[in-house]
Structure 1
Amino acid sequence: MSPRAHGSPPTFRSGELRDPALTAALRTLELTVRRRLDGVLHGDHLGLIPGPGSEPGDAREYQPGDDVRQMDWSVTARTTHPHVRQSVADRELETWLAVDLSASLDFGTGVCEKRDLAVAAAAAVAHLTSGGGNRIGAVVSTGHEITRFPARGGRLHAQAMLRSIATTPHAPDGTRGDLRGAIEALRRPQRRRGLVVVVSDFLGPVDWEHSLRALSGRHDLLAVEVLDPRDLELPDLGDVVLHDPETGRTREFTTTERLRADYAAAAAEHRTEVQQALRRCGAPQMTLRTDRDWIEDIVRFVAARRHSFGAPAKGVR
């Protein structure tokens, strides 16, 4: 494999990787996740989305911003100082990935393609939620077909699932993505309570909100947004020919200042719509970009989430 920039995941091009190359790429990805996340995000089994769990933890003094619903009144009465009861995540967690591998993710102008970043995000979630009898499954959608992987435990299952995700065939040209279909596939049949992680660039129509909100009543949610700089703005390139793989249309443009401004405004408006929909669904949003160190973005996200629940972010600098 050719040298990769610091912070970039391996490149996965399904249909082009020979088996030894794929094994090496997945191994590199696994080592990257383990070396850079072990000891940084793990502590009292808080998991990827720290927050109220079902197992009681230690009590600590109340801090501004803590959830008053977690007040421990017995300790408060004994000490005459307000205390909150910390809780940790369930020891057995079932995690489901909804991975969008539509044609819009076969693109990237940073150090990798968005598809590579989606596989990397799936690997990080698998690592962060593994162990202790936890299980992980996935639903992968290309718009052309939906592939399901049952939730099972163990490292071998996680490796086999990631291998299949990385080698998912590309959708035929002109095939639109179907994020709503992937989310719907998690609703039926009903699954045990757990964590649902949606990995997508969310560039299509926001027709998935109802389905995702239906899942929020039973599961914790996390949205992983995979972006490229060109999703947000166009550079001044003069005359360009652009092809949309989800519609099959090809058009020639001149990137004038007015066109670039309109494009940036439309992209910002769409992102705002996506963010508001995710917020209404109760899904925290973690953004990974092809031009940034994705591991550092994960660390920052989890550190911020821990602070929002009043828990210390040990080891994060």
Structure 2
Amino acid sequence: MTTVTPRQTDATAGIRPDLKELIALRGQARRLDLAPRGRVLATRSGGHLSRFRGRGMEFDESRVYQPGDDPRNMDWRVTARAGTPHVKLFREERERPVWLLVDQGMSMRFGTRVAFKSVIAAQAAALLGWAAVDRGDRVGGLVFDETRYLERRPAARGAGLLPLLDRLTAPLSTAPGEPGGVGHSSIVAAAEHLTRLIRPGSLVAVISDFADIRIDHSGWLAQLGAGSELLLILVHDAIESEVPPPGRYPVADGARQASLAEARTGILDLTSARLRDAYLGHFQRRWEILQRLARRDRAHLLRLTTHEPVGPALARGLGARSGAGMAGGSR
């Protein structure tokens, strides 16, 4: 049973998502276009049109009656207008499993403006989840950090989504071994876990900063996208993609010191040109790797930043999808 937590205070705003706010994002989710871009392979009855003609809930077109057609499908209006018998054709509706893989690990608990990357990831997951629910999809997924994870198989009408949203709003646990596992150390480890569960015909959305992405250890992406539509959403802070003025910057995650690029001791040292170049190159290499992998695995690639509203950015990025392998999106 999902428990609604008390509304967050100003002290935690932007640091931890609020469950009521994630649920309220359902209104914005109606603007998102989650229509499948490829052939739908799922076989349950639901809200997506397959390419198989048959008796279903979605009207396709009318055509002239042919011997053997079911009289129950007669289109009497067209018949009266055309003067010749016509029947209705339908496209069978298919339901699609939607998997949300949401990174809440250490590197995600960082942000310089408005919110942590982990909060932006939670909002993106809520928006995608509600958009899928409203289309009649079954939604599930995996939310993880380094101490625990929560896995839910896709279920209809929000039954799989709400526990994930509840987990996204929970405080970080420092005790391993809680129900649901002992956590995953990286997006790679979590994704490799998920590859054993996903079936062809799914939509898989991976929401992360992809801090440890590597070309030579990326087979998990191909596995996630095998027979399914793959959506990669990079969440980053502006300070990661645009080097700040020279200086030494303290870095924290709201409770403890955290590492970011050169900030191994909690201080981000950008006093020299060498350190500034190395810092900027770190993010650029990550983005280039993601673009390359998206092209290779025919994935859709979007970017979200911590200081921009998530709903409009997602709507723009999803609306811009013009085919498999697009490596662009919102900034």
Please, what TM-score do these two structures have when normalized by structure 2?
0.67
Alpha carbons 2:108, 2:209 under 8 Å: kept:
yes
- In structure 2, distance between residues paired with 1:184 and 1:109: 31
Aligned to 2:50: 55
Considering Cα pairs closer than 8 Å and 6+ residues apart, tell me whether 1 or 2 has the greater RCO: 1
Give the superposition deviation at 1:210. Answer: 0.2
Give the superposition deviation at 1:91. Answer: 3.1
1:123 matches 2:126: yes
Q: Rate the CA distance shift 1:251–1:290 in 2: closer, same or farther, 3 A.
A: closer
Relative to its length, the structure with more helix (as a share) is 1
Unpaired segments ≥5 residues, structure 1 = 5-9, 14-21, 60-87, 310-317
Q: Which structure's CA Rg is the greater one?
A: 2
Aligned to 1:142: 145
Alpha carbons 2:103, 2:143 under 8 Å: kept:
yes
**Structure 1 residue aligned with 2:249, among 214, 235, 240?**
240
Q: Which stretch of structure 1 is more off in the superposition, 226-235 or 124-133?
A: 124-133
1:250 matches 2:265: yes
Q: Rate the CA distance shift 1:102–1:246 in 2: closer, same or farther, 3 A.
A: farther
Aligned to 2:26: 34
Q: Deviations over 1:243-266 (max 9, x none)?
A: 544899316525234422332123
Aligned to 1:69: none
1:224 matches 2:233: yes
Percent of residue pairs identical:
25
Unpaired segments ≥5 residues, structure 2 = 1-7, 41-48, 52-58, 62-90, 176-182, 252-256, 325-331
**Structure 2 residue aligned with 1:184, among 176, 179, 192?**
192
1:265 matches 2:257: no
**Structure 2 residue aligned with 1:114, among 114, 117, 139?**
117
- In structure 2, distance between residues paired with 1:171 and 1:100: 17
Alpha carbons 1:209, 1:278 under 8 Å: kept:
no
Q: Rate the CA distance shift 1:167–1:27 in 2: closer, same or farther, 3 A.
A: same
Counterparts of 1:62-81 in structure 2, within 5 Å, are none
- What is the count of residue pairs matched by the alignment? 259
Amino acid at match of 1:238: G
Secondary structure at the residue paired with 2:133?
A: coil
Alpha carbons 1:176, 1:246 under 8 Å: kept:
no
- In structure 2, distance between residues paired with 1:12 and 1:156: 26
Q: Deviations over 1:72-91 (max 9, x none)?
A: xxxxxxxxxxxxxxxx9963
Aligned to 1:210: 219
Please, what TM-score do these two structures have when normalized by structure 1?
0.69
- In structure 1, distance between residues paired with 2:102 and 2:110: 16
Alpha carbons 2:117, 2:236 under 8 Å: kept:
yes
